Amino acid sequence: MIFHIVSHRDWDAALRAGSYKPESLATEGFIHCSRYEQVVETANLIYKGRGDLVLLCIDEKKLAVPVKFEPPAAGRARTSTDFPHVYGALNLDAVVKVLDFACTKDGFFALPRELGCL
């Protein structure tokens, strides 16, 4: 399982379009994702204070496009663990769960409780 953080608005647009193609796909050639242990760090680094997000739980085996595990861009993460990058539009049937992912009152993130059930 890999994970992707996206705004409610952009996810709703993807549902209407039939696939998910964020800006990073056009500008960098892939969709940024995280492993389970990288989700909170990624959220706090990039999305701190945001309450309009969902967390996509993606089954790698259901992806219609390649996923590669690659080092983070300089300054993007404090971990040396490779991040999953999805090389193509995300087919919606690979998303097995969508969880609300709002920050806490202090602006930081914690894993959604429901994530433990997956």
Q: Which two tokens stand for residue 103?
A: 């920050």
Whether 100 contacts 112, CB under 8 Å? yes
pLDDT of residue 85: 97
- Give the residue extent of every domain in the chain: 2-105
Q: Is the pLDDT of residue 116 over 80?
A: no
Task: Quick: pLDDT tens for 15-72.
Answer: 999 999 999 999 999 999 999 999 999 999 999 999 999 999 999 999 999 999 998 8
Quick: pLDDT tens for 6-31. Answer: 999 999 999 999 999 999 999 999 99
Instruction: Report the candidate in 115, 114, 109 with the shortest Cα–Cα distance to residue 40.
Output: 109
**Is domain 2-105 classified as CATH 3.20.170.20?**
yes
The confidence score (pLDDT) of residue 83 equals 94
For residue 77, is pLDDT > 80? no
- Whole-model pTM: value is 0.91
- Of the listed ranges 10-14, 88-92, 102-106, 112-116, the least confidently predicted one is 112-116
